[in-house]
Amino acid sequence: MNVLTKVAMGAMLAVGAVGLAEAHHAGNSQFNGNKVLPFTGVLEKVQSGNPHGYIYFVRMTPSGQQEHWIFETDAILALRRAGLSVRNDLKVGTTFTLAYNPALDGTNGGNLVALQLSDGRVLAFMTKDNVETANKLLKEHLFNNGTNGATNAPQSGQSPQ
C-alpha cells in the first residue's frame, strides 16, 4: 500500500469517527438548549445506563389530570461525578424539582439540566461548570419562586392516582 492510499484511508476514518460522534451528541436536534424551564413532579422510575439514562415523573395538572414526563440524563458515571447517587438520592415516590431543556417536539420531557435533592442540594448536569450553573439557577429562583409549571404533585410517599 502506498503512502497516498494510507493517508486517504486515515482521512476517511477520521471523518467517519467525527460523524458518528456528532450524530450521537446532537442534543440540539432534540432539545431547546436556549431555554431552561422548571418542573416539579413525583419520581416514578429511574432507568440508568450508558450513554444516557432516563428519569420518569408524574404530576397533576390544575384540572386534576395526571401528566407523565421523561427526562434524559447523563450516563451514570457522569451523574456520580456531579454528586448524585442514583441508588440513594433518587427514591421512587419522592417529589423533586428540576430544571430542563424542553423537547423540541413538544412532548412532556426534555434534557435534565439541574436537580434539587430532598436535602436541598442542587446538582447541575451536562454543563462544563456544574457549580456555576447550579448557582445561576438558584439565583434565577427556578427552584424557589413557586412558578414551576402546573402542579400539585402528589406528596412524597403517595402513589399517583
Check whether the bond before 51 is cis (ω within 30° of 0). yes
Nearest to 148 by CA among 62, 23, 24: 62
Neighbours of 134 (CB within 10 A): 24
pLDDT tens per residue across span 98-157: 999 999 999 999 999 999 998 888 888 866 555 566 667 666 656 665 444 443 333 333
Instruction: Give per-residue pLDDT as tens, 22-71.
Output: 445 555 678 998 888 889 999 999 998 888 899 999 999 999 999 999 99
Of 91, 94, 84, nearest to 123 (Cα)?
Answer: 84
Closest listed residue to residue 148, CA positions, set 53, 59, 28: 59
- What residues contact residue 45 under an 8 Å CB cut-off, 6+ apart? 55, 56, 92
Q: What percent of the chain has pLDDT over 90?
A: 34
Q: Is the pTM of this model over 0.75?
A: no
Residue 23: its H or E element: helix 3-24
CA-to-CA distance for 97 and 124, rounded, in angstroms?
A: 12
How is residue 23 written as a grid cell?
450524530
β-sheet bridge partners, residue 42 = 58, 95
